[in-house]
Amino acid sequence: MEYLIKACNIVMSMALRPVRGLLVCSLLLLPVPALAYRPFVSTDADVAAAGELEIELGYFNWERAEGENAYVTPQLVFNYGLTDTLEFIAEFDLEHDLDGSSQLVDPGLFLKMVLKQGVLQDRRGVSFAVEAGLLLPSAIEGENQTGFEAIGILSGSLDSVTWHLNLGGGVDRIDGTAFGLWGVILEYPVSEGLSLVTEFNGESLRTEGAENSVLLGVVWEPSSLPDLTLDLGIRRGTSRAAADWGATAGLTFSF
């Protein structure tokens, strides 16, 4: 409980408004199991259990591109289990510039369905899911249309490594330009509750260069706090169109 209270203090000290911070802290103090899929851009072939709400909170996200810094606080994803194989997802980011301005970016509404149960559902073989939904208009100049995105997701294991493969595409919020996206996640447990993780991912618009990057990080599920998962990651752009560097820290809980 002492660590949860400290986590609340961290959240309250960020750019969250007081009411929103109090809501997050009250949820943190609920004795519930955590399901995590931070700090990745990609996702896994699993969904929240029926009737369960999973909250992914990125309380610190930094990005540096072309010599300029931007901060996203909070970065929120809500996952609600409609059935044991179908999940509703809502997400958005609140981006802050150093000049003090803030704007809502990257909002979206999605459905994810598990089409084949496998290792992530405690069964044999590969898990397979699809996720599709709407990219809602963003506060960023020019991103005022509704786009669409759909991806196929495979998850499996090889020895002690768990892997997730994403492949999909859609049309963007700007002018309906088609794009493709891909991602590979690898997770390797190094001790009880602690895993080293990496992600290779990219997105390519038909008319622009690819935005490819790699992430290195850790995911920690402390045995003394079974209802909380913490994550930390550093991201490096590997193509000219991608941001140069990024960092993220967050937590996941559900009820």
Question: How is the chain split into domains, by residue range?
Answer: 2-254
The pLDDT score that the predictor gives to residue 35 is: 45
Mean pLDDT of 154-178: 96
Per-residue pLDDT band at 208 (split at 50, 70, 90): confident
Sequence-ordered list of residues with C-beta below 8 angstroms from that of 155, at least 6 positions apart, any chain? 44, 45, 46, 118, 119, 120, 126, 127, 128, 129, 162, 163, 164, 165
The pLDDT score that the predictor gives to residue 88 is: 98
Per-residue pLDDT band at 23 (split at 50, 70, 90): very low
Contact of 72 with 105, CB cutoff 8 Å: yes
pTM of the model: 0.83
Q: What is the mean pLDDT of the chain?
A: 85
What would the pLDDT profile of 137-155 be if each residue is shown by its tens digit?
Answer: 998 888 999 999 999 999 9
Alpha-carbon gap, residue 84 to 49, rounded angstroms: 5
CB atoms < 10 A from the CB of 141, how many?
Answer: 8
Q: In the predicted model, is pLDDT for residue 15 greater than 90?
A: no
Mean pLDDT of 117-123: 96
Does residue 27 or residue 200 have the better pLDDT? 200
The pLDDT score that the predictor gives to residue 193 is: 92
The pLDDT score that the predictor gives to residue 255 is: 81
Sign of the torsion formed by the C-alpha atoms of 65, 10, 54 and 200: positive
Strand partners, 182: 167, 202
| Nearest one of 88, 84, 134, 158 to 114, comparing CA atoms | 84
Does residue 84 or residue 103 have the better pLDDT? 84
The pLDDT score that the predictor gives to residue 162 is: 97
Mean pLDDT of 233-252: 94
Per-residue pLDDT band at 224 (split at 50, 70, 90): confident
Q: What angle do CA 118, 131, 246 make, to 5 degrees?
A: 100
Alpha-carbon gap, residue 187 to 180, rounded angstroms: 24
Long-range pairs of 139-143 with CB within 8 A, sequence gap ≥ 24: 139/103, 139/104, 139/105, 140/103, 140/105, 142/174, 143/105, 143/172, 143/173, 143/174
Superfamily of domain 2-254: monomeric porin ompg (2.40.160.40)
Q: In the predicted model, is pLDDT for residue 25 greater than 90?
A: no
The pLDDT score that the predictor gives to residue 6 is: 42
The pLDDT score that the predictor gives to residue 98 is: 67
